[in-house]
Structure 1
């Protein structure tokens, strides 16, 4: 099997950690590096969380780079109320002995320049990508594919009535990427990710499987579950980011349509992704906007990859998922 080379640009973050776990356990992917920006937590905290997640899978050989620590123009607003002060559900794990490198933006540029088959899966605000584009747009001519977890189409936002958090944190960065990236963006927005819910039933189930990974997942999602109950009345927690990784691997998991998209910079609708589904602007589509997903198929894929050796058991848990 030829592995697909990827950079994961992220802001770990509980669901980022779960997405990284999925990527690490997917044989189709070769992770060249993790680049971290500020979003769920400040970038330096997120980089430490990236190391912790890599350690769980014994993959500290994958480099972690800190990129931009502030949005292009806005003051940074984090989601530590959602993910905990440490970004990992208030578990305050011991720091992992590993190297955190600087110059994440340069790593993105250099990697694209030296390879013609690298894709980027962006799980956080698009600040690093925007900065890299501003610095060297020509490098992105080598980009294979670009997947962004962010935005909304017909569903309400998660940090305002209309905005998804990643684009809300740095709307100028998100809009710049949509308007300047030479490749069409696969927009994995809340319309599909809201359907991906890690329920108490699933958590109870995985605790019967691999103890180390299930302990980590249970610990980091406890705070997240409490938040979702208090804020949205959901029993469980929405895990947005893993769907972006899963969709990159298997396009059959989601359906959508091509459209022109731009992101609002300010005002009451700051961070909203404007999807021109009726082609009012007559602009060339710059995005493939996802609208439907098969959440049960996703969840089985997610669990079977992280908990290898239990595939038969997972295939027969219709009452759990």
Structure 2
């Protein structure tokens, strides 16, 4: 069976951790490496959490790269300990891991060796990916598959009334990436679909009862922390949304998603309430695309039942 080659860009908090474990367990995914950056938690914890999960999984062969420490253009990072805990994994506090960090040169080499079939999956702010485009745009434009969790179209945001966290963290970086990826090579998974990927307490218990690997031991304590945070802030979910699981699953299950092709821009103002808002033309008859604007594929719905069934299957077998 051919496996999809995946390079993850992650700010490893709780839902990133679940997405990483899912990718490691999935029989049709091969994780090439992880670029760990700031976002849900400071970069040092994102790196530590990534290495900890890979060690538990017995996958120290997978290289970890140090991503961005803070947004471009001097914006200050904001973290979410109420949702992800003080170190990104709820109440868990992994010790520093004795694992190497790989260089940017090695990261570009990995992409170059796999550029025709690598799937770059971005789960956090787009800062690290933007830096790579700025350093080596020609190489990054040769990648055919970009999957990113980000944005909120015609639905409320999760960090401001209109902005989703990944785009809000670094709107400058988001625009750099969106303006440089070749047309229709990017698939964007906004809150419109990711907030439907809800893990319930029953699902967490089911995964915990049937865990088979050491990496899965963190699922219950981490997700219980996450679900408790949502129980206090947004009980209508009935659990916790696994936003970052969605683009990883889509790499091997793209047929479960409905897409609309549109040009996307992100509001860059550092002071405006609109900072980080994602903008696309959703009118029934949209205006003609302006010359030079790049069209992306935006997920607008997914087959939730099939998605959640496959997630449980992968995590319990």
TM-score (norm 2): 0.91
Whole-Å Cα distance in 1 between the matches of residues 37 and 94 of structure 2?
20
Alignment of 1:172-211 (within 5 A): 172-184=172-184, 185-210=186-211
Partner of 2:304: 295
Query: What is the deviation of 1:108?
Result: 4.1
Residue 111 of structure 1 is matched in structure 2 by 110
Q: Give the Cα separation in 2 of the matches to 1:30 and 1:223.
A: 29
Written as runs of structure 1 = structure 2, the 5 A alignment for 1:68-217 is 68-73=68-73, 74-103=75-104, 106-115=105-114, 116-184=116-184, 185-210=186-211, 212=214, 214-217=216-219
Aligned match of 2:274: 269
Offset at residue 44 of structure 1 (A)? 1.5
Q: RMSD across aligned C-alpha pairs, in angstroms?
A: 1.7
Q: Is the 8 A contact 2:182 2:294 kept in 1?
A: no
Structure 2 counterpart of 1:57: 57
Deviates more, 1:173-182 or 1:8-17: 173-182
Q: Distance in 1 between matches of 2:89 and 2:183?
A: 33
Structure 1 segments, 4+ long, off by >4 Å, are 211-214
Instruction: Give the Cα–Cα distance (whole angstroms) in 1 for the partners of residues 196 and 30 of structure 2.
Output: 27
CA–CA distance in structure 2, aligned partners of residues 56 and 297 of structure 1:
28
Instruction: Decide whether the 8 Å contact of 2:183 with 2:294 is kept in 1.
Output: no
1:243 counterpart (241, 246, 252): 246
Point out where structure 1 has 5 or more consecutive residues left out of the alignment: 309-321
Q: Distance in 1 between matches of 2:231 and 2:294?
A: 37
Distance 2:262 2:178 in 1: 11
Query: Contact 1:145 / 1:183 at 8 angstroms: preserved in 2?
Result: no
Deviation at 1:297, TM superposition (A): 1.1
Q: Name stretches of at least 5 consecutive residues in structure 2 with no aligned partner.
A: none
- Contact preservation (8 Å) 1:118, 1:142: no
Does structure 2 retain, via aligned residues, the 8 Å contact 1:195–1:295? yes
